[in-house]
Structure 1
Amino acid sequence: MVRVTGNFGGQAPLSEVVRSAISAAFDAGWADPKKLSQASTRSRILESQALESIATGLSLTVDQIEVVGEEEFAPYLALSGFLSPKKELGIGAIDRGKIRALGRTHASHRIIPVDQHGALVADEISMDSVLSLQVANGETGIVQDLPTLSARAECVVLDATTSGSRIPLGTTWDAAVFSSSSWGGPQGIAIIGIRNSAQWRYPLPHIAPIRTPGGYSLPLLLASSVALENFKEDSLHLRALNEHLRKTIVAAIPGSYCVGDIEKSLPHLLTIILPDTISEMVVRDLDALGITVEAGSACSPVDLAPSHVLAAMGLPTEGAIRIRLRDSHSVSEIDELVAALVKVCSDL
């Protein structure tokens, strides 16, 4: 087995403090907070503390928060709660696959195009629509102009599953969806912030007045709150690494292209297009050298489906790889990555 010496992929091991929180929670065998028992009472207290911590970390109030145990289900709930059959749904051309799939099931929907820089075209948004607005793209890190775009629609549901707590959301939104993994928490926990509760309705069949199906893992919720409390990212360091990588790769591999303006992107994400290469082969050959990167669409990476994000921007989809930078990375590791890419590209 090849020892991975450079992890520039999307996932990293959970931190020790988060692993410890999960382990302690499962070892304790937490009781269902909805039951009536002493153990359930303790669980309710811990659940309440976790929700208060998450609300603080995301600049929400506790009464705005709903927890969903299936991350891909959360955007559907958030958007569908504001939709009616005649209401138009606006979906960005670079939105995640599950959100675009929702658009296909809604009679009145519009795909909002992006320009060559990955920015949504504001003039294409209907003023009376429900808009799915991605805060930052999971492939390119490109950040949207939230104030301008939010003002264009009647109702705005933010997809903050990539940006997490990194970017302030402002006040012109009606609901927002977050993923625990965006701040180093475990997968399997999504947070919906419902700001406009007066207009939102639970979209699934129900008898009791509920807002989400429930059924999430309390240990994962506790670990998610611990992760958010301990989440720190050196954005200046990451931006310096990102700038260094951009300059070095373009100089080392003629024709290579770094997607997005660094001033309008999250500093820890970068997509690079390598000319005359095949993405899958680049990923494979780098892996043989002990370096992990990703390719394909970020929302369907298993089968390396071509990136609909790059296609929407009018860019080549082949030869594209995704890099995720972390605080632990150094300039020397970036140089090693570039050297490995030069070798791989020359061998293809």
Structure 2
Amino acid sequence: MRITSAFVANSRVPLIQAAKTLIAIGLSWALCVLILRIDMPIFAAIAALLIVAPSVNQSFAKGVERSLGVVAGVLLASVMAQVLPVSNWLVLLIIAVAVAVSWMAKLSVGMTNQLVISAMLAIAMGAGSWEFAVTRVVETAIGSLVAFGVNLLLVPPVKVEPARERVAMLGGEIAESLVRLADALESTQTPGQLQGLLIEVRLLRPMVTSAQSAITTARESLSMNLWAAKHEPQLQEIERVLDDRLRGMATEVIGMTRAFFDHYDDELCREPMVHDITDQLRRAAHDVRLLVHLAEIDPTPMTSAIPALTAPLELRTPSGRRWILIGSLMEDLRRIHERLAELDVDA
């Protein structure tokens, strides 16, 4: 692990985000100079810097948190400056009191930090009168409101496309897992191949989590967003595909592969019913790909638009104890079929 990973991000902040931060700071500074007649509106600049966030919803939450922290810190510094003479020891005492109050009130880390920093800055800038306290509070409010307004009006980023991509990747991997299982059923497998098959299919679980996380981020990016109405139907469709279909399919494909791993024998590929099952697995993979393409904003299907898994498969009784594996595969295939059958209705 590189030491720089502790303070260097994997990717740059979007340029629009940096530009919005600079605009918010500049506007806050100018307004405070014009309205409040102060030369160094540091609190306004700090508020603007901290509040411009990737989403409007986050910006609003940060605005409330930081503003309350500044107000509490300035008031604490003003009260203590009225009672005790300003000195180095007073700064240390204010820090101790601020931390203690934050701990007792169970304040968030962001608000605690803002409270302590604001109290120290207030003392350093000459806190000692209620006029100073009121001015700092108003200054902070201006910075917060300007930052929120800038974030609201200047192209708030919408995260629907990354969510769509994650769901499409999940669907593609489910389809690949079905094909890999079909190929494995048709040939003799070594212990290493069986283990590799199981390891690969288990990657579906973190992919489901990743897709859900991307949808949550997209939902947050649309909260309090002026362009939310345009993107909301797309996000709802993506979310429906994940929750109603792909999430369950991932569980079923993992279960099928696990059953194959547990009940495999070298003669399984000669079982007459295996060919029919592998055919259905490939048809299901086709329809999963089709489902993912239908979930895209601008679909460009790479396969036929006609669902291939048209009816559940009926099998004859398998030989020996292979009925356990065959039955398990058939039950999961039935569940996948039921999810994919909705394609006909939706189309």
Shorter-chain TM-score range: under 0.3
Please report the TM-score for the alignment, with normalisation by the length of structure 2.
0.22
Which structure's CA Rg is the greater one?
2
Higher helix share: 2
Name the structure, 1 or 2, with higher relative contact order (CA <8 Å, separation 6+). 1
Higher strand share: 1
